[in-house]
Structure 1
C-alpha cells in the first residue's frame, strides 16, 4: 500500500494488485505580491562594506553598519535619514568609494600586536582596543569599542601564557572569538608580531582610516555590471522597487539608469544640479535622450534640510524626499500632491518665489517633476506633477511605473512553477486561476478597477491564443489585461452663478 506524490508513479503501468495513494498538491496556486517598499540607495559612508548591499531598517541600523550621517555631497546616510522622515523603512544600501579609502590601523606595543579595522573609513579612527586584567586570575581582557558601535569584550585570555604566546592568544581571541557567546570581532582584525614584551593595561586607538569620498563621480555611483558588481549594479536582485544614486546630478548617467530600471523593474529617481535653470534642465533632458517610464527626473531646485546629527541646515538633493515618499506609498498611488516632510525650504522658496503656471508647464511638459510649495492640496511641499520622464500620457504617471513593475515582478516571482509541467486543459485552468486570483485581490484592495463599470482585468489561456503549432513547440501563452485606476490630475469644476441662474430640480423618482 504505497503512498507517493502525484506524478511519481506511472498510473497506466501498475501490475501489482494493491492500494495506491497519491498526495495531490493544491490545484490552485496563489500569488502573493512582491514587496514594493524596498528603497535602494547608492552613496558614500564612513564605514561598512563597499559595493555590497546591506539591509537597513532604520537610522540606528544604518549607524551600526555604515556610521554617522556626513555633511557632504553623495552621502548615503543623508539620503537614508531623509527617506526615513517620509516613512520609508526598508532599504538596500550600497556604499561606494573612489578607491582612495583606507582602513585604520594601530600597533600595540612595538612588534607585539597589529590592529586593522574591518572596514575602510574614518569611523575606524574612533575604534580603540583596551587591554586590562581579565576576570580570572592570570588572564587578560581585550575590549574593542567605538562611539557608534556596540562594544566587544574578550575576557579571560591567555591563562598561564606569557611572552609572544600571550600576544598570539589575544590575536586569536579577537579573530576567532573565545566563547560561544563571544564570537569573532566585527570591528577589527588582529595580527600578532614577534614581540615578547608583557602587555600593559592601556587603550590603543586606531588611526589612518579614510572614506574614499573625495572624488566621487557619476561613473563611480553607476559602478560596473560584471562580477564583482559595484555601485548601482550591486542592487541587482535585491528587490529594490525604487532606487537612487545619492546626489548624482550628472546627466550623462541618466540613460544608463533608464536601462537598469527597465531591466530590473526599478523606478530610478534622478536630479538636476543645484540651482539649475528651467531652460538648462529641459535642454539637458533633451540632450540625454531619455523618454522612459523607468526614470523620474527632479528639477535642480535643491532642498534645505535640518541635519540634526551635524547641527546644520544643509542644501541637499530632492531625490531622497521623493524616493522615500514613493517607497512608503502603495504602488497604485502617485507622488502628486502628497505632503513631503522635513523640508525647511527650497532654493526657490528661500528666495521668496513660487513657480508660475508657465514655469510649471515648461517643466512638466518636458517630463521633469519638481518639489514646490504650494501644491493643489494646500501650502505644503510636495511634487507638482507625479510624472516620470515618459512623454506618453498613458505611461508618464508614477502609478504606471510602480504598478507595471509590481505586477510584472509578482508574476515573474510566482508563475515559474508552471514551467516543466505538461500543458493540459487542467494546467491551463490552474495557471489562469492563479493569475485571476492575484488580480482579483488587487481589485478588492482598490488597486485596480474600472470606475465606470465592467471587469477590471482579463486572463486568457486557451486554444485561441495557444494554437497547436505553438503548443507543439513548448509554448504556453497567457494574455493578461489590467485596468489601472486613474490619478486625478486636472479637476475641472464648472460654476454658473448669477441673479438669473435657475436651479431645476427633478420631481421624478430615480
Structure 2
C-alpha cells in the first residue's frame, strides 16, 4: 500500500520495503502585504479601557467602545471622526488619562452599581430593577446606555445578579452589596474624564505592562497619532517608536506657531527623521457633529489622508474633507481666506515641516501642501518613501520567517528569490511600482554570489533586494512660446 509523507519527513536513503512513497512538497511561499492603512490612535475618551488597544472600524464601533465625543483636541472620537472623513477605516485606539478620572456610581435597592470604566459617559447609564410577572421570585436588572448598549441580568438575590453581571464581558456596571430586592431605577452619576494627560502619559512606558504609545506595539499599525499632543519634547520618543515599529508618526507643532518660529522649534526638538511627519502649528477648524466648531490639530487630517492612500502615494495636493477654516486663513464662511506666500512655504519645507492650506495646486480646496516628512535629506523626505519603505520592510519581516530552520541549498536560494520577486512583481502589476522607461524597477539576488560557504556554514542566508520607487510630481514646468511671429511646425502622420 502506498504511503504518503510530508516533504522532509521521510529519509529516502534508507528505504527497505518496496512500495510507492508519495512526498507532499510545499509550494513556494507567497507573500501577502501587511496593512498599510491601520492607524494607531492615542488620546482621551469619556469611556473605555485605559492603556489597552481596542479594534475600531468606524464611528459606530468607536462610540460603542468609548462613548460620547468630547470637545477636546485630545479626544480620540474627534480625531477618529476626522480621519474617517479622509478615508481611514481601520484603527487601534488606546485611551490615556491623567489619573483623576472617576467611575460613575449609583445606589439601587441597597446595592452599589459602579461603572466598569471611568468617564462622563457613565453618567448617562441607567439601571432598572424589575420583578418577574410569572415567576415573582426572579428579578431582572436592566442596564442601558444610548451608545454603549443594553444588558440584562437575572437572579433571585443580589448575589446572583452580581455574579451574572461579573461573568458578562460586555457589562457596563459592577454590582456589589444589596440585601432585599425592591423594584426601582437609578441613573449613575459622579463619573469624570479627568484633565488633559501629560506628555509622559501619552508616550507611556514600555515595560511588562505597556501604556500610552507603547500599547500600540505589535498591533500592525502603519500610522501613529497622539491626539492633540504638540509637545516637541515628545518627538524623539515618537521617532524612536516609529523606526522600531515601521510606523509613520504624524504630529503637529503647538497651535498658533508662527512660520518664523516653526523651523527653530523643530530643530530644537532634534526631529530629523523619515519616521515622522510634522505639521505646521496652523490648526484647523472642524465642524463636529456633536460639539460644533472646534479648533483641532492638523495631524488628524494628515494621518487620515495617509491611511486612505496606497503607500506609494503622497499626501501632496490630495483634497481634505471637513475643513472649514484655519487659524491663518480664517473661516471659509467669511468668504475671504488668507493664503501662504511662496516664501513662507519655502521656509516650512526647508525645515521639514508640512502644512495644510487653501487653495491647493489642483484647485480651490484644502490640501496637504508639501507631502513631506521631517527628514532634511531630499532622498528620503517624501511621504511615499516612509510609507513604501515601511510597507516593504514589514511585509518581508512578517512573511519571510517561514524559511527559518530550512536546510541551506540551491533550492532554498531559488525559493527565497521566487518569493521576494513574486511579491514585487505583484506590486508592479498593481501600479505600486513602476518606471518611466518601462524597465523592471526591482532586483533580487539570493545565490552563491552573496552567500559564500563561509557564511552559510554558520547559518546565514542573505537576500539583496533593490527597489526603485516612483517619483512624486512636485514641480510641473510648462514651456510656452506664443506670439504672432512664432513658427509652428506640425509633424504629419503617414
Match 2:111 to one of 95, 110, 113: 113
CA 1:372 to 1:131, structure 2 compared with 1: closer, same or farther past 3 Å? same
CA 1:13 to 1:134, structure 2 compared with 1: closer, same or farther past 3 Å? same
- Distance in 2 separating the partners of 1:474 and 1:185: 49
Match 2:473 to one of 458, 474, 488: 488
- Distance in 2 separating the partners of 1:284 and 1:175: 50
> Aligned pair 1:321/2:301, yes or no?
yes
For the residue of structure 1 that corresponds to 2:469, the secondary structure is coil
Query: Which aligned pairs between 1:202-217 and structure 2 lie closer than 5 A?
Result: 202-212=184-194, 214-217=195-198
**Kept after mapping to 2: 8 A contact 1:173/1:184:** no
Q: Which runs of 5+ in 1 are unaligned?
A: 159-165, 177-182
> Aligned pair 1:72/2:57, yes or no?
no
Query: Which aligned pairs between 1:31-430 and structure 2 lie closer than 5 A?
Result: 31-109=31-109, 112-138=110-136, 139-155=138-154, 157-158=155-156, 166-176=157-167, 183=168, 186-193=171-178, 195=179, 198-212=180-194, 214-310=195-291, 312-350=292-330, 352-430=337-415
- Distance in 2 separating the partners of 1:115 and 1:384: 52
How far off is 1:413 after superposition? Answer: 0.9
Farther off after superposition, 1-10 or 41-50: 1-10
- Distance in 1 separating the partners of 2:393 and 2:460: 19
Deviations 1:50-74 (A, max 9, x none): 1100010111110010011100231
For the residue of structure 1 that corresponds to 2:68, the secondary structure is coil
**Kept after mapping to 1: 8 A contact 2:83/2:300:** yes
- Distance in 1 separating the partners of 2:228 and 2:116: 27
- Distance in 2 separating the partners of 1:215 and 1:435: 46
Farther off after superposition, 130-139 or 6-15: 130-139
For the residue of structure 1 that corresponds to 2:417, the secondary structure is helix
For the residue of structure 1 that corresponds to 2:476, the secondary structure is coil
Deviations 1:24-69 (A, max 9, x none): 111x221111111101110000100111000101111100100111
Q: What is the TM-score with the length of structure 2 in the denominator?
A: 0.96
How far off is 1:8 after superposition? Answer: 0.9
Deviations 1:191-240 (A, max 9, x none): 234x3xx322110222222213x141222111111121011110111111
For the residue of structure 2 that corresponds to 1:21, the secondary structure is strand
In the alignment, what sits opposite 2:4?
3
In the alignment, what sits opposite 1:180?
none
- Distance in 2 separating the partners of 1:263 and 1:393: 22
How far off is 1:84 after superposition? Answer: 0.9
CA 1:185 to 1:265, structure 2 compared with 1: closer, same or farther past 3 Å? closer
**Kept after mapping to 1: 8 A contact 2:165/2:171:** no
- Distance in 1 separating the partners of 2:206 and 2:133: 51
- Distance in 1 separating the partners of 2:239 and 2:50: 24
Deviations 1:276-301 (A, max 9, x none): 11111100111111111110000000
How far off is 1:184 after superposition? Answer: 5.6
Q: Which runs of 5+ in 2 are unaligned?
A: 332-336
- Distance in 2 separating the partners of 1:84 and 1:266: 19
How far off is 1:359 after superposition? Answer: 0.3
- Distance in 2 separating the partners of 1:302 and 1:135: 58
How far off is 1:507 after superposition? Answer: 5.3
CA 1:507 to 1:184, structure 2 compared with 1: closer, same or farther past 3 Å? closer
In the alignment, what sits opposite 1:162?
none
Over the aligned positions, Cα root-mean-square deviation in angstroms equals 1.4
**Kept after mapping to 2: 8 A contact 1:105/1:207:** yes
How far off is 1:135 after superposition? Answer: 4.8
Q: What is the TM-score with the length of structure 1 in the denominator?
A: 0.93
- Distance in 2 separating the partners of 1:366 and 1:327: 24
Number of equivalences = 487
Deviations 1:104-140 (A, max 9, x none): 222323xx42222111111112112201122532121
For the residue of structure 2 that corresponds to 1:290, the secondary structure is coil
**Kept after mapping to 2: 8 A contact 1:103/1:117:** yes
- Distance in 1 separating the partners of 2:199 and 2:164: 42
**Kept after mapping to 1: 8 A contact 2:31/2:423:** yes
CA 1:105 to 1:465, structure 2 compared with 1: closer, same or farther past 3 Å? same
- Distance in 1 separating the partners of 2:174 and 2:280: 46
**Kept after mapping to 2: 8 A contact 1:132/1:202:** yes
How far off is 1:87 after superposition? Answer: 1.4
